Structure 1
Amino acid sequence: MSKPPPSPTPEPEAAEMPAEVSAAWLDPFLVWLAKERRYSPHTVRNYRHAFVRFYAWLQGAGIEAKPFDELTRREMRDFVIESQRQLDRCTLHLHVSGLRSFFRFWISRRRMLRNPFTGIPLPKLEKRLPMFLTESQIKRLLLGPQRLMENEAITPHDGWRDRLIMELLYGGGLRISELCGLTFGAIDQSNGCARILGKGGKERMCPLGRVAMAVLQHWKTNHVAISSPTAIVVQNHDGSPVRPRQVQTMLKRYLALADLPLDLTPHKLRHSYATHLLNAGADLRLVQELLGHANLATTQIYTHVSVARLKEVHAQAHPRGGSTRMG
């Protein structure tokens, strides 16, 4: 009989970290991330998980009593190698990024002298082009709420709310967290722009588009419970804010109605927004500013999508574009 395959190394237990370690080392770092760096709750939660997991690994290796900045490069390489068996490459990069930030924070507070993760190699990330919808697919998707309202499958309140959500995600290129936090006071009705507070507390102006503004005006006039400047734009019947999870669930309904892949996320509407702008000739730096990207390299991935689309059109339309036969 052949031997059964070895069991994967179990994930470290989050509950194993002593409370005193959390209070002395982890909690001040997380407060700094949230209050001073103004990272999103999602990022803070990820960085917390990265440290908890790292500390559990130190315990498993029997070196948790070692001062953090006396950890060796070999030990950190062992941590990375073992983590590759449990985490995908993207998550591993995220965790190590969080740990590097943790060490830099305490070095700046003079409680450490060195960062043991400096120079530790990580597996290369696969270069994935962002998924996006074509313009015709976007049109089918955005027609969904109107179709359901006409069939009386949803109430006018829910139909206009759902349409507004998708128009803002696509028309303004908003992140889902930015959408759910958008207030009426942040929108300038006269110029159709919204003042968006993005990642790291950075503020930017986002044109929302003529259609989105028209839908917003109808929504505010006919279906909103609370419309004060501090009120959240996207709200439920009782005026409570719509949560990101609601947006994700709602989108799946309209993806199914439009016969589109159900694994497309609200963020893919932002990808579509950027790709369509670049396909239409928008300047890369302008798109960077509209998206609120800190680095141009983050925006440049959309140019690869545009080039891929140009090559596809060339292959289909040009007499010498698609065939490789000689003769």
Structure 2
Amino acid sequence: MNEILAIGHPEVMAERQRWLATLTQERRLSAKTVEAYERDTRQFLTFLTGHLAGPPRLADIRSLRPADLRGFLAQRRKHGAGARTLGRGLAGLRSFLRYLEKNGLANAAGAQAVRSPKQPKSLPKPLTDGEALKVVTADAQLAEEPWIAARNAAVLTLLYGCGLRISEALGLTPNDFAGNRSSLRVNGKGGKTRIVPLIAAATEAVATYSRICPYHLAADAALFRGARGATLQPAIIQREMQKLRAALGLPDSATPHALRHSFATHLLAGGGDLRTIQELLGHASLSTTQVYTGVDSARLLEIYDRAHPRA
């Protein structure tokens, strides 16, 4: 029996392949999300193959009951999957079943009846104001080449000063900074575009790097370059941040993405409203942004416990 038949009948596998294609082409989900959904549905079809004593057909998918889905989640939990993994897996299955239902091939009601595993609450771990400022200072960079130190400072300043994801910062071109601009047009997740203010510190950091970079920076090509002139990769900035953590005595949670968390947390602490911060971060849902209110509350309680005489 070949690999396709081992996990699902060809009619099921063909529909699954078309569904995965729509996730990429129409819904424009990230490659990592599509990869995760592919893996989750493959694991589910493998489970059904054992559960039904044979590769599942569309008729089997149509007759799925909530108990079948709960059995799959229980098996995954038994093999060590956590609540986040299980929740994502259920979301992928729901998406696949909704696709089949839309095409008249299945009923998604069974998946909707299964409650998602309760997710553990974890708060982002931002840097303090002082720590963030140390990280983005050009003098703090550890690279031997001055232009590489300036490059690292410029990238990190964009993460903290504009709240960019590392992929968004590395996707910028010189055109994005042409003229006397006060804002950046950023292409974020799912191809969504947003406008973020461009602070003077970020403009100056990018200008310094551009001035001393030894490579020609074409207007519509990547702004940030690696040591040999190729497009700068996220792993390089992550390694530089690791060195900075050791040099500055920062915790392991001080990653490039933590600078984006710091951007949001510090804005909120300074009086910024959630809706505005949501727009600046490019979050699709306000509930995603609301996690920063927990960070701010936690910090207030920490200050209270440390400073109040009756604490």
Whether TM-score is above 0.5 comes out as yes
Matched AA of 1:113: N
Show the counterpart of 2:66.
73
Show the counterpart of 2:120.
126
Show the counterpart of 1:323.
310
Gaps of 5+ in 2: none
Question: Shift of the alpha carbon at 1:260?
Answer: 1.1
Show the counterpart of 1:58.
48
Question: Shift of the alpha carbon at 1:78?
Answer: 0.5
Deviation by residue 1:80-112 (Cα, 9 ceiling, x = unmatched): 111112211111111111111111122223332
Show the counterpart of 1:258.
248
**Alpha-carbon distance in structure 1 between the residues aligned to 2:228 and 2:5:** 38
* TM-score where L is the length of structure 2: 0.89
The answer as to 2:86 corresponding to 1:92 is yes
Q: RMSD of the TM alignment (CA)?
A: 2.4
Q: Are the aligned partners of 2:171 and 2:222 in contact in 1 as well (CA < 8 Å)? A: yes
Deviation by residue 1:41-96 (Cα, 9 ceiling, x = unmatched): 12111111111222222223235324322222111110111111221111111111
Distance 1:60 1:180, change over 3 A: farther
Q: Are the aligned partners of 1:148 and 1:159 in contact in 2 as well (CA < 8 Å)? A: yes
| SS state at 1:205 partner | strand
Show the counterpart of 2:273.
283
Q: Which has the higher helix share?
A: 2
Work out which of the residue numbers 133, 143, 149 in structure 2 matches 1:139. Answer: 133
The answer as to 2:129 corresponding to 1:116 is no
Deviation by residue 1:115-170 (Cα, 9 ceiling, x = unmatched): 43112123211111111110111123224x52456xxx521122111111211111
**Alpha-carbon distance in structure 2 between the residues aligned to 1:304 and 1:84:** 28
Show the counterpart of 1:3.
none
| SS state at 1:196 partner | strand
Matched AA of 1:172: C
Number of aligned pairs? 305
Deviation by residue 1:12-46 (Cα, 9 ceiling, x = unmatched): x9995469468502322222111111111121111
| SS state at 2:194 partner | strand
Question: Shift of the alpha carbon at 1:289?
Answer: 0.4
Work out which of the residue numbers 265, 287, 291 in structure 2 matches 1:301. Answer: 291
**Alpha-carbon distance in structure 1 between the residues aligned to 2:82 and 2:251:** 23
**Alpha-carbon distance in structure 1 between the residues aligned to 2:6 and 2:170:** 35
Residues 153-172 of structure 1 aligned to structure 2 (within 5 Å): 154-172=144-162
**Alpha-carbon distance in structure 2 between the residues aligned to 1:176 and 1:296:** 21
Gaps of 5+ in 1: 1-12
| SS state at 1:264 partner | coil
| SS state at 2:114 partner | coil
The answer as to 2:96 corresponding to 1:106 is no
Show the counterpart of 2:259.
269
Residues 22-61 of structure 1 aligned to structure 2 (within 5 Å): 24-61=14-51
Residues 197-236 of structure 1 aligned to structure 2 (within 5 Å): 197-223=187-213, 225-236=215-226
Q: Are the aligned partners of 1:288 and 1:299 in contact in 2 as well (CA < 8 Å)? A: yes
Q: Are the aligned partners of 1:169 and 1:176 in contact in 2 as well (CA < 8 Å)? A: yes
Question: Shift of the alpha carbon at 1:263?
Answer: 4.3
**Alpha-carbon distance in structure 2 between the residues aligned to 1:265 and 1:29:** 35
Q: Are the aligned partners of 1:175 and 1:267 in contact in 2 as well (CA < 8 Å)? A: yes
Q: Are the aligned partners of 2:186 and 2:195 in contact in 1 as well (CA < 8 Å)? A: yes
**Alpha-carbon distance in structure 2 between the residues aligned to 1:48 and 1:108:** 19
Distance 1:312 1:65, change over 3 A: closer
Distance 1:73 1:66, change over 3 A: farther
**Alpha-carbon distance in structure 1 between the residues aligned to 2:9 and 2:151:** 44
Matched AA of 2:258: K
Matched AA of 1:65: P
Question: Shift of the alpha carbon at 1:240?
Answer: 1.8
Q: Are the aligned partners of 1:224 and 1:235 in contact in 2 as well (CA < 8 Å)? A: no
**Alpha-carbon distance in structure 2 between the residues aligned to 1:204 and 1:15:** 44
Q: Are the aligned partners of 1:34 and 1:41 in contact in 2 as well (CA < 8 Å)? A: yes
Distance 1:308 1:238, change over 3 A: same
**Alpha-carbon distance in structure 2 between the residues aligned to 1:217 and 1:14:** 54
